[in-house]
Amino acid sequence: MTAFAPVAEPLDPAARPLNGPVIAVVTPETGAERAPPAAPTARAEAISRVQRCFAQLGYYKGPIDGKANDDTWTAHWYFKNDHGLKAYGDFLADAVQKKLRELCKEEVAAAPEPESAAEPEPATEPEPVTEPEAAQAAESEPAPAAAPEPLQATEPQTQAAEPEPLAEPMAEPDVQTNEEQVTVALAPAAEPQPAAEEEPVEPPPLARIDTDCLPEDLIGHLRAAHGDSVRARACTPGCLPSPAGLSQAQLDDLQARFGVAWCRDCVQIEGHLSLPDIWRIEGAGDFELCAMPPRHLPRPGIGNGNVAKSFTRIRELYREQTPAAEDQALIAVIIGNGTYDKLPPAETAANDAGAMYFFLTEHLGHRQDNIIDVRNARKADLERLFGPVPGSDGELARLVRAQPNAKVIVYYSGHGGTNSDHSETYLLPADAEPYREELSGYPLSTLYANLAALKAKSVLVLLESEYGRDHGAYVLPPNLPETTNSAVPQAPYTNVTVLSATDRGQRKLIDTSYDVGLFTRYLIEGLAGAADLYPVGNGDGMVDSAESFVYAAAMVRLAARKTFGLLQQPVYSSGATPVLSGAVAAKPN
């Protein structure tokens, strides 16, 4: 369990292991780089500009108060690490300020403008400053009849006070300056017009679950949760390109056994494009693209050397939405098993777990000291957390007992497995033995039984995993289910909801835009508000488990098929429909 203790100096997040105690560390560069505050007001303005820029970039959510608070220093730590400025401990250092000016041009450049903007007003034309006196003069001295003509040509809707300078002897110069004043004065009057045009009465639908249709089985999930009020229509089933090297007899057999529809008329491409790029090309050309996978497809994203911390970039999916208020009753367990002693690595597990940690703490209202965060958990760690056998207690149970009405989230990213007779599925700890799941794996049936026994208001289990016997670097197109036992409970639990990324041994795919699991990407996007939009959601400002699953499942299926030419089908089990996030700002992309 992690917790933050108050420290005298700003807390460096790198000093806190995600699964260990808090260590207060003063960065070595503090003090030397900090600019001395020449004047308190100037420093406060500079800090406010930095806070506004950090907020614009998604690093800061605190008040814009010009005070170097802990949130500001924490935002600076993440910012400097993301932008190659690790050597600079002060956000007012010249190099940091230069980078902020590059990234937040409007925000940083806007600060000096009020001072300079106040000076030109008296400098441009001192005469028209005394408008009340000019108005009195206009009433007592009638203006010449010929003078108003150029004013009417510029704009007939001028006030009576503005022509008064024309009554003075210097007619020619005054007319010119008055025309300039009239055009300047009238310029703001034209601005409200585009503002009025900018107010759409009805918000557009979510950016492409394409159109207003969903797969028929997903509509069934929504109707089971929301009744006949669900208005989405059923899509025609999508097709897959036929894998290379398979005969027509083999293709017909797969179609008969698994219901796969093979594409007969599409523009074939090799490799893969992102889903938005595919939609853009298809929309422009009025045809369908299909990615042609080879007979053995290297898992997308493997070996690409991209070690960028995607959880800083995945903030794009939710930083514009209004975050939920902090809730003491929210408890979470996050497990990221990326490195294994005797199995291939789980490529995105570290990024997945990091992205989920920041999403829960930054957006869904989770307190950091209510999150048990573990990396590369061994079997003893899983037994300590959830209990070694059905009916036993673990650390999570003790935490829930201390918090009445707890709402629990358990997130796992890493390998899963199935035993040889397909009777049990497992989470595979970092010390798992290949093909020895019965001895070295943690049974999902034990996990579900012990979670159901918790005295919690609700339990949500999110599994970014796969449960086949093979964990190698290749996917066999079209990525059909290889086992018979599903990862979700055979019978739904009343208080436990399970969402799993894959079905019966399918390989999970990677979202190459964010370097996280495809399922995790759309899960975060849905919980941030997208799942409340038509055709999935009902627009009530809440995201429940059915909406979250249907959104993630629809988008994962679509992205897997269109981007890679493969199948990936998330699965779901729930005896109820708990609300997972509330008061979301449902905003289309």
| Polymer length of the chain | 589
* pLDDT per residue as tens digits for the range 161-207: 444 444 444 444 444 444 444 344 444 444 445 444 444 444 444 43
Q: Which residues contact 536 (CB under 8 A, 6 or more apart)?
A: 206, 209, 214, 222, 232, 526, 530, 547, 550, 551, 554
Q: Which two tokens stand for residue 154?
A: 């510029």
Least confident of 43-57, 224-238, 309-323: 309-323
> What pLDDT is recorded for position 206?
40
Find, among 508, 519, 512, 528, the residue nearest to 549 by Cα: 519
Calpha distance 489→542 (Å, rounded):
26
Query: CA of 525: how far to CAs of 2, 70, 563, in Å?
Result: 26, 28, 18
Token pair 């959510």 in the structure block, residue: 61
* Alpha helices, H only, 268-346: 275-285, 310-313
Calpha distance 426→435 (Å, rounded):
11
Calpha distance 465→352 (Å, rounded):
11
Task: Report the DSSP beta bridge partners of residue 305.
Answer: none
CB 504 within 8 A of CB 454: no
The H or E element containing residue 324 is: none
Q: Does the structure show a pLDDT above 80 at 24?
A: no
Question: Cα-flanking dihedrals φ and ψ of residue 268, to 5°?
Answer: -85, 135
The pTM of the full predicted model, rounded to 2 decimals, is: 0.66
CB 420 within 8 A of CB 483: no
Calpha distance 557→242 (Å, rounded):
17
Q: Long-range contacts made by residues 140-149, C-beta under 8 angstroms, separation at least 24?
A: 141/167, 143/167, 144/171, 147/171, 147/175
Q: Does the structure show a pLDDT above 70 at 588?
A: no
Calpha distance 148→167 (Å, rounded):
11
Instruction: Average the pLDDT over 398-424 and give the result.
Output: 94
Find, among 258, 230, 315, the residue nearest to 528 by Cα: 315
- Is the pLDDT higher at 337 or at 137? 337
* pLDDT per residue as tens digits for the range 40-91: 578 888 999 998 998 888 888 889 988 888 788 888 877 887 887 866 778 8
Q: Which residues contact 282 (CB under 8 A, 6 or more apart)?
A: 288, 289
Q: Which residues contact 61 (CB under 8 A, 6 or more apart)?
A: 55, 71, 323, 362
Q: Go through 371-400 and write b for each residue having 16 or more CB atoms within 10 A of its CB, e for each that does not.
A: bbbbbbbbbebbbebbbeeeeeebebbebb
Token pair 């059905």 in the structure block, residue: 390
CA angle 137, 139, 144 (to 5 degrees): 80
CB 481 within 8 A of CB 279: no
Q: Does the structure show a pLDDT above 90 at 415?
A: yes
CB 211 within 8 A of CB 279: no
Phi-psi category of 566—alpha, beta or left, where left has phi over 0 and alpha has psi -120 to 50? beta
Calpha distance 416→432 (Å, rounded):
10
The sheet that has 442-443: what strands, in order across it?
416-418, 425-427, 442-443
* pLDDT per residue as tens digits for the range 438-496: 999 999 999 999 999 998 999 999 999 999 988 888 888 999 988 888 999 989 999 99
Calpha distance 162→185 (Å, rounded):
10
Query: CA of 100: how far to CAs of 49, 85, 534, in Å?
Result: 9, 11, 38
